[in-house]
């Protein structure tokens, strides 16, 4: 049996952090249909690791006050995160409400575990990271939206654990919050550059297809189960033998994959030109490897998230804070992928989705929209993006040693971020059972060797 080494923490402090007094007026935000689709989705869990070879005392006296103070100043801009999800009796749907005095739960902890083991790319049991993440409890009538935890590894480093409700953020928004906080902490100035200032106006989201009502019925209304409440979350726990691994594609690997696709495709001159971005090539290659590894036999579909901010009609500000993503399914037959031209076929299927976006966002038929529990059974999702530049989240003590999306162990998605070295590569995160991971890793590595021939 694969056993995880113990990873216990000592809680040093429990506190709450609020925006500066009277800096924000009471405000409520309605949920759009984009938000409602994620009401029951698993919580977003992120850990940023930072090397900091100093004592615990130095961390508590020097680093911690800056993190707390800058968090308070940041919440002045991102005040909904200090608020709560509630369901007023007179409202047909939940709302996000901030009132003066609302705050965010913060845990300060110490760990004697191996900092470099927990922040490494190698396979390790998913349970090892859980103690580095804060809890975000909810009741039948109220759900906090954000909780934070700082864990110090004396003489090695510290990490920032973030647990956030998906109903308030997509990947773009959560990264904007982290970068804004880091910017304020680094500079000591509460002002933010325009590209980091959140935009909250929900009236810019139009709903010509009536998706809000559809999502209310599909995702929000209680089921017949007596234990079901408005704010219950689909929260599948990963089996005890689930391991998390980070794989890397270098800039050179991506260029070789691109050359392979173009060479194999030369025989067919009639097909339209391909969009061969880093994202497309990475997703296609990982998808092929997963199918060849026979991982989760039903999961032969890929769900590609599309940020709709610039694609809505009219477009909305890129700093819109909330959910504004639609998933587009990419289909293929496993037997097609298994062949020598599997990567070419995967790339072409992804390009069909891209070409379909040229005429704008189409919400699609409601019957094709799965529920959260259905999402767990079928497609392979993609979380985060190499375009988010998460390794630029520098609080003043350098770039993260590792930025990791922990919640993929519950959603079954793969996470994509840019390589830490900034050389144009990609880091791909996965959570699979130990045997599946070993098979996938072998196929992933051998496939890259073959592309070098």
Q: 5-9, 34-38, 54-58, 370-374: which has the minimum mean pLDDT? A: 370-374
Mean pLDDT of 193-206: 96
Q: Which of 6-20, 65-79, 208-222 has the highest mean pLDDT?
A: 65-79
List the catalytic residue out of 114, 207, 336, 394.
394
**What pLDDT was estimated at residue 233?**
75
Mean pLDDT of 180-185: 98
CA gap 300, 287 in Å, rounded: 8
- Rg of the chain over CA atoms, in angstroms? 22
CA gap 301, 351 in Å, rounded: 15
Q: pLDDT-based confidence at 138, cuts 50/70/90?
A: confident
**What pLDDT was estimated at residue 356?**
83
What pairs with residue 244 in β-bridges?
124, 431
Q: pLDDT-based confidence at 227, cuts 50/70/90?
A: very low
Mean pLDDT of 382-394: 95
CA gap 74, 113 in Å, rounded: 30
Structure token digits, residue 140: 């039948």
Identify the CATH class of 242-451: alpha beta
Tell me which residue has tokens 């954000």: 146
When the pLDDT of each residue in the chain is averaged and rounded to a whole number, the result is 89
**What pLDDT was estimated at residue 143?**
95
Structure token digits, residue 283: 């997703």
What are the percentages of helix, strand and coil residues in the chain, rounded to 5?
35, 20, 40
User: Which residues make Cβ contacts (< 8 Å) with residue 91, sequence separation at least 6?
Assistant: none
**What pLDDT was estimated at residue 226?**
35
Backbone angles phi, psi at 398, to 5 degrees: 100, 170
Tell me which residue has tokens 């550059």: 193
**What pLDDT was estimated at residue 296?**
56
The predicted-structure confidence for 329-351, as pLDDT tens digits, reads as follows 888 877 778 888 889 999 999 99
Structure token digits, residue 344: 């070419």
Active site residue 170: no
Q: 101-110, 339-348, 359-368: which has the minimum mean pLDDT? A: 359-368
Q: 140-149, 367-376, 432-441: which has the minimum mean pLDDT? A: 367-376
User: Which residues make Cβ contacts (< 8 Å) with residue 191, sequence separation at least 6?
Assistant: none
CA gap 201, 180 in Å, rounded: 19
Tell me which residue has tokens 């804060």: 134
**What pLDDT was estimated at residue 337?**
82
Q: pLDDT-based confidence at 359, cuts 50/70/90?
A: low
**What pLDDT was estimated at residue 221?**
67
CA gap 81, 95 in Å, rounded: 13
Portion of the chain with pLDDT greater than 90, in percent: 69
**What pLDDT was estimated at residue 103?**
98
**What pLDDT was estimated at residue 2?**
43
Active site residue 394: yes
CA gap 310, 329 in Å, rounded: 20
3-state SS, residue 407: coil
Instruction: Give the residue with greater pLDDT, 337 vs 246.
Output: 246
3-state SS, residue 26: coil
3-state SS, residue 208: coil
DSSP 301: -
List the catalytic residue out of 77, 166, 172, 328.
166
Mean pLDDT of 240-261: 94
210 C-beta neighbours (distance < 10 Å), count: 11
For residue 238, pLDDT beyond 80? no
Please say whether the beta carbons of 265 and 284 come within 8 A.
Answer: no
**What pLDDT was estimated at residue 329?**
87
CA gap 134, 144 in Å, rounded: 12
Instruction: Give the residue with greater pLDDT, 99 vs 335.
Output: 99
Mean pLDDT of 16-33: 95
For residue 218, pLDDT beyond 70? yes
For residue 4, pLDDT beyond 60? no
**What pLDDT was estimated at residue 281?**
97
3-state SS, residue 265: helix
> For the domain bounded by 9-220, which CATH number is listed?
3.30.559.10
**Burial of 53 by CB count in 10 Å (0-12 exposed, 13-18 middle, 19+ buried)?**
exposed
The span from the first CA to the last CA of the chain, in angstroms, equals 38
CA gap 182, 396 in Å, rounded: 7
3-state SS, residue 11: strand
Please say whether the beta carbons of 50 and 397 come within 8 A.
Answer: yes
The predicted-structure confidence for 278-321, as pLDDT tens digits, reads as follows 999 999 999 999 988 876 555 578 899 999 999 998 999 999 99
For the chain, the structural domain boundaries read: 9-220, 242-451
Q: pLDDT-based confidence at 147, cuts 50/70/90?
A: very high
**What pLDDT was estimated at residue 232?**
73
For residue 268, pLDDT beyond 80? no
- Whether 9-220 and 242-451 share one fold: the answer is yes
Q: pLDDT-based confidence at 355, cuts 50/70/90?
A: confident
For residue 373, pLDDT beyond 60? no
CA gap 153, 9 in Å, rounded: 10
**Could you tell me if residue 424 is left (phi over 0), alpha (psi between -120 and 50 degrees) or otherwise beta?**
left
Instruction: Give the residue with greater pLDDT, 272 vs 94.
Output: 94
**What pLDDT was estimated at residue 360?**
66
Paired sense of beta strands 27-30 and 95-98, if any: antiparallel
The predicted-structure confidence for 46-86, as pLDDT tens digits, reads as follows 999 999 999 999 999 999 999 999 999 999 999 999 999 99
CA gap 263, 223 in Å, rounded: 53
Please say whether the beta carbons of 151 and 28 come within 8 A.
Answer: no
Mean pLDDT of 345-366: 77
**What pLDDT was estimated at residue 67?**
98
**Burial of 216 by CB count in 10 Å (0-12 exposed, 13-18 middle, 19+ buried)?**
middle
**What pLDDT was estimated at residue 223?**
55
- Angle between helix axes 171-187 and 64-77 (nearest 10 degrees) is 130
CA gap 276, 258 in Å, rounded: 7
Handedness of CA 435, 437, 441, 444 (dihedral sign): positive
CA gap 219, 11 in Å, rounded: 36
**What pLDDT was estimated at residue 377?**
44
- DSSP letters, 276-291, are --HHHHHHHHHHHHHH
């Amino acid at each position: 049996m694969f056993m995880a080494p113990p990873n216990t923490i000592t809680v040093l402090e429990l506190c709450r952090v609020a925006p500066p007094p009277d800096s924000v007026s009471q405000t409520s935000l309605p949920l759009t249909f984009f938000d409602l689709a994620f009401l029951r989705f698993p919580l977003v869990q992120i850990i940023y690791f930072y090397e900091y070879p100093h004592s615990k005392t130095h961390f508590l006296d020097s680093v911690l006050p800056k993190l707390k103070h800058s968090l308070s100043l940041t919440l002045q801009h991102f005040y909904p995160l200090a608020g709560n999800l509630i369901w007023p009796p007179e409202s047909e749907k939940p709302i996000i409400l901030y009132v003066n005095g609302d705050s965010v739960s913060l845990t300060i902890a110490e760990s004697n575990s191996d900092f470099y083991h927990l922040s490494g790319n190698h396979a390790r049991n998913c349970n090892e990271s859980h103690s580095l993440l804060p809890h975000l409890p909810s009741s039948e009538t109220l759900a906090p939206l954000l909780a934070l935890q700082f864990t110090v590894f004396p003489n090695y480093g510290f990490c920032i654990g973030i647990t956030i409700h998906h109903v308030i953020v997509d990947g773009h928004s959560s990264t904007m919050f982290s970068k804004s906080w880091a910017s304020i902490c680094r500079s000591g100035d509460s002002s933010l550059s325009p590209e980091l200032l959140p935009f909250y106006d929900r009236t810019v989201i139009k709903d010509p297809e009536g998706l809000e009502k559809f999502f209310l019925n599909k995702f929000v209304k209680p089921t017949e189960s007596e234990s079901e409440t408005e704010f219950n979350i689909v929260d599948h726990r990963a089996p005890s033998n689930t391991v998390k691994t980070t794989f890397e594609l270098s800039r050179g690997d991506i260029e070789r994959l691109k050359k392979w696709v173009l060479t194999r495709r030369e025989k067919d001159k009639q097909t339209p030109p391909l969009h061969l971005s880093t994202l497309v090539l990475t997703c296609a290659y990982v998808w092929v490897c997963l199918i060849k590894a026979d991982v989760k036999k039903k999961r032969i579909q890929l769900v590609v998230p599309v940020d709709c901010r610039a694609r809505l009609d009219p477009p909305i500000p890129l700093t819109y804070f909330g959910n504004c993503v639609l998933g587009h399914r990419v289909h293929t037959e496993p037997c097609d992928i298994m062949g020598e031209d599997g990567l070419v076929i995967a790339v072409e299927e992804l390009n069909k989705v891209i070409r379909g976006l040229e005429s704008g966002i189409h919400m699609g038929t409601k019957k094709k929209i799965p529920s959260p529990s259905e999402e767990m059974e079928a497609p392979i999702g993609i979380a985060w993006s190499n375009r988010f530049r998460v390794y630029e989240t520098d609080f003043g003590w350098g770039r993260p040693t590792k930025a990791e999306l922990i919640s993929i162990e519950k959603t079954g998605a793969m996470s994509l971020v840019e390589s830490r070295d900034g050389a144009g590569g990609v880091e791909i995160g996965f959570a699979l059972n130990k045997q599946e991971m070993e098979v996938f890793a072998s196929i992933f590595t051998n496939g890259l060797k073959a592309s070098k021939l």
